[in-house]
């Protein structure tokens, strides 16, 4: 799939699932897309949230 086609698909979504593995367990969290420019998805979370602190150590994440 070409980048332009993928970007068009992404632009249609308002919510994505943020998927990650922590201590051997798979987690999925729905997140609202804050902004989407050129296929880059921006998600917001609080600096005080558990997810923010997990992002400091996660090496692989997936958006669906």
- What is the rounded CA–CA span in Å between residue 35 and residue 26? 26
Which pLDDT does position 38 carry in this prediction? 67
Which pLDDT does position 39 carry in this prediction? 65
Which pLDDT does position 26 carry in this prediction? 93
- What is the rounded CA–CA span in Å between residue 23 and residue 29? 16
| Local confidence pLDDT in tens for the 64 residues of the chain | 677 777 777 777 888 899 999 888 999 999 888 876 766 778 888 999 988 898 888 888 888 8
Q: In which residue are the tokens 């880059």 written?
A: 40
Which pLDDT does position 64 carry in this prediction? 86
């Amino acid at each position: 799939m070409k980048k332009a086609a993928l970007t068009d698909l992404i632009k249609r979504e308002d919510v994505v699932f943020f998927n990650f593995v922590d201590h051997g367990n798979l987690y999925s969290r729905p997140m609202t897309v804050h902004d989407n420019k050129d296929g880059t998805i921006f998600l917001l979370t609080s600096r005080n949230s558990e997810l923010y602190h997990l992002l400091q150590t996660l090496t692989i994440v997936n958006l669906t």
